[in-house]
């Protein structure tokens, strides 16, 4: 299982959104480019980088992200308002290894299929879920899709992975659990990356045992000091042999 450090960029700064509110982010006093390089030195294979200003139509952080791609020394998947093939081409030309499509995947599924055809195994669909239903537009609009129903339309289009963001767990809903991401992972062919589900090293350990969970995205726990990247990677990459048969 791969640990994806989550570098969320707002006005050139490394931040994390609480309840997806752009007006009151947690701001980390860290240079995002240096953080990216340091994580690669610590053994990060991938970085998950999101341009929040692009998402909220408040500008862009393209130059910083391109520098991260150029100099980090590991693979980078980029998200943030990727809604047209022109944007996909632009990021792939800049050296991104993958691009992440979120709201546009719900509104324009043909766009996802076109992107995956043009860049096989390089397109990621991000599914944000609250109360068992897919939500879009920065968690403000609820659709009628369950995660599995929505994901199945992309079963055979050559996606690299699906990001499943469990909003209820991210917001500490009392009834949230790992069961939701486990259920989706069991129902789809595409590898699943968890987001919003990790608060402790125990959570990483739990996810590492679940079938079809290919990775986990972490920001608040990692940059907030709940654990270090080497600690997270050590647990994520521990080999789990299947249980011995009952005799």
Q: For the chain, give every domain's residue range.
A: 2-236
Tokens (6 digits) for 131: 């109360």
Tallying the residues shown for the chain, one arrives at 247
C-alpha dihedral sign at 59, 10, 55, 79: positive
| Least confident segment among 72-86, 90-104, 122-136, 169-183 | 169-183
Superfamily of domain 2-236: Aldolase class I (3.20.20.70)
- Name the band, by pLDDT with cuts 50, 70 and 90, for residue 247: very low
pLDDT at 239: 63
pLDDT at 244: 45
pLDDT at 63: 98
- pLDDT at residue 31 greater than cutoff 90: yes
What mean pLDDT is predicted for residues 99-127?
A: 96
Percentage of residues in the chain having pLDDT higher than 70: 96
Tokens (6 digits) for 130: 């609250």
Our CA angle for 31, 36, 37, nearest 5°, is 100
Which residues are identified as catalytic? 8, 128
CA-wise closest residue to 79 among 100, 63, 64: 100
pLDDT at 169: 87
What mean pLDDT is predicted for residues 201-219?
A: 96
Pair 145, 182: CB distance under 8 Å: no
Pair 78, 49: CB distance under 8 Å: yes
Higher per-residue confidence, 9 vs 57: 9
């Amino acid at each position: 299982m791969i640990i994806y450090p989550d570098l969320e960029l707002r006005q050139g700064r490394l931040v994390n959104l609480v309840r997806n509110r752009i007006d009151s982010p947690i701001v980390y006093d860290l240079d995002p480019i240096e953080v990216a390089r340091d994580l690669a030195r610590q053994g990060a294979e991938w970085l998950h980088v999101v341009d929040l200003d692009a998402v909220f139509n408040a500008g862009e952080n393209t130059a910083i992200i391109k520098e991260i791609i150029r100099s980090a020394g590991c693979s980078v998947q980029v998200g943030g308002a990727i809604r047209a093939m022109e944007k996909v081409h632009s990021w792939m030309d800049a050296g991104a290894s993958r691009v992440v499509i979120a709201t546009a995947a719900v509104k324009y599924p043909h766009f996802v299929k076109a992107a995956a055809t043009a860049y096989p195994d390089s397109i990621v669909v991000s599914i944000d879920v609250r109360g068992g239903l897919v939500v879009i537009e920065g968690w403000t609009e609820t659709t009628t899709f369950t995660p599995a129903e929505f994901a199945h339309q992309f079963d055979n289009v050559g996606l690299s992975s699906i990001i499943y963001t469990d909003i209820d767990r991210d917001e500490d809903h009392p009834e949230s659990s790992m069961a939701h991401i486990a259920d989706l992972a069991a129902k789809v062919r595409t590898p699943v990356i968890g987001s919003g589900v990790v608060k402790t090293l125990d959570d990483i350990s739990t996810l590492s045992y679940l079938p079809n969970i290919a990775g986990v995205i972490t920001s608040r726990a990692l940059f907030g000091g709940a654990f270090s990247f080497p600690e997270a990677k050590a647990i994520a990459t521990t080999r789990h042999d299947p249980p011995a048969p009952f005799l």
